[in-house]
Amino acid sequence: MKTAFIYDDSLSSYSFGEGHPFIGARFQRFFNFFSSHLSAFKDKFELIKPPLATDEELGLVHTKDYIKAISTASKGIILDDIYRYVSSDNLNPLTGYIPQDIDEGSRIIVGGAILAGKLIAENEFKKVIGIGGMHHAKPDFGEGFCFYNDIAICVNNLKKKYNLNKILVIDTDAHAGNGTAEIFYSDNEVLFIDIHQHPYTLYPQTGYVNEIGDGKGKGFNVNLPVLPGASTVSYEYIFEEVIIPLAFEFKPEVIIRYGGSDPHYLDELTNLGLTLSGFKMMGEKVRFIAEEITQGSFIDLQLSGYNIEVLPYAWTALICGLLDLDVDLGDFKEETPPSPNARLEETKEMVKELKKILRKYWQCMGNKN
C-alpha cells in the first residue's frame, strides 16, 4: 500500500515575511528535495492536496473571538488590541502586523492534519506524511510562530467524529509543546510525550519533568527535557527507556509524531546535538512502535527547523527511518558533529527522576532505575 503524502505548494502562504526565521519557502524546498532524491517517489506515495479547515473545525480547539481576530488581521485590517491575541514573534518583523494571508496558510496546515486523521481512522491508508506541528498555539492566543493548533484539532476531531479514546502524541520539536500540553493537560485519552531542549535554556520555558498533567490527566503529560548538546544516544535512550514502554502500556489506537529539524546541531535557534543519523533513528523507533501496536499505522507531520540548508535533509532522514527507505544524503556534509554520547549521563539522571514521578501512574515506570 502507498503512503499518503499530504502536500501542496499553497502551504508556502504560511510565512512570516523577510527577516523572520519562519519562511514558507521551506515547504517547497523540502518537497522538491525529497521527491527528487527518492527515485520511484510516485510508486511509493499518493500525493493528496490538503483542504482548508473551516471555522467549525478550528472551533474544536479555538474560541470564536480568536478565530475572527486572526482571520480579520490576516486580511490586512489593523487590530488595535492585536497583542491580546498573539505574541510579537507571530508578527511580520518588517511591518509589525499579522502576516498577510497567514490565516489561509494556517487553515491549510490544519486541514491537512484533519485529513491525515481521517485517512487513518477510515483505514484508507496505514501511513500518512504531511506538514504540521503548530504546538504553541492555545485556544485564544497565538505564539511561537503558531496560530492554530493543528495537532490538537486533529486529535479532538478523532475523538469526536471517530470515538477514538487512546491517542499517542509524540512531540520531537526542540521546543516544548506548551499549547498542546495545556489543551490536553487534564485528559487521560491523550498520552502526550514531549522531548525538547531544557526549559531554562529555550522558549517557551515550560516542559519540566514534574509537569505531568492534572486531574484524571495526571501521568499523561510526559516531559523529557534534555540539556543543550544532547545527541543521538541520549534520544535513543529516551525512546528505549520511556517512550516505547509507555506506548506499549498505553496501547494507542492512533500514533501522531510531529517536529522538524530544529534538534539538529546546526539549527540556528536551538542548541541540541542530533545528526542526520539521529533523525533516522527516531523515525525507526516510531516505526517500531507502530508495527507492534497499530499494525504499522501512524501519522507523521513536519514543520520546524531554522537552518534552511539542514531542513530538507533532516526531514528526509526522519521519513527514511519511518518508512524504511534509502535516500542518498551524501551531498550534505556534517562537519565537526558532536559526540553521539553527548549529555548521555545527564539524560539518564533526568529519566531516573521522571520515572520516580511516573511510577505512580504507569507500571512500566516502576521497576527500572
The stretches in the chain having pLDDT less than 50 are: 368-369
Distance in angstroms (rounded) separating the CA atoms of residues 5 and 48: 6
Residue among 254, 280, 246 nearest 364 (CA): 246
321-333 tens-digit pLDDT: 999 998 888 788 9
Chain Cα centroid distance, residue 351: 21
Domains of the chain: 3-328+340-365 (3.40.800.20)
Report DSSP state, residue 212: -
**CB 65 within 8 Å of CB 140:** yes
Output the pTM of the full model: 0.98
- Find the length of the chain: 369
Distance in angstroms (rounded) separating the CA atoms of residues 50 and 61: 19
Residue 168, strand partner residues? 191, 255
Residue 76, strand partner residues? none
Say if strands 167-171 and 190-197 run parallel, antiparallel, or are unpaired.
Answer: parallel
According to the model, what pLDDT value does residue 329 have? Answer: 85
On the 0-12 / 13-18 / 19+ scale of CB atoms within 10 A, 242 is buried
Distance in angstroms (rounded) separating the CA atoms of residues 348 and 217: 25
Distance in angstroms (rounded) separating the CA atoms of residues 87 and 74: 15
Other Cβ atoms within 10 Å of 172 Cβ, number: 29
According to the model, what pLDDT value does residue 328 have? Answer: 84
- Residue type, position 206, single letter: T
Distance in angstroms (rounded) separating the CA atoms of residues 279 and 230: 13
Strands (E), the chain: 3-6, 45-48, 127-131, 167-171, 190-197, 221-226, 254-258, 298-302
**CB 157 within 8 Å of CB 190:** no
Distance in angstroms (rounded) separating the CA atoms of residues 357 and 25: 42
Establish whether the linkage from the previous residue to 204 is cis, with ω within 30° of 0.
yes
Distance in angstroms (rounded) separating the CA atoms of residues 63 and 61: 7
Q: The C-alpha cell of 347 is what?
A: 539524560
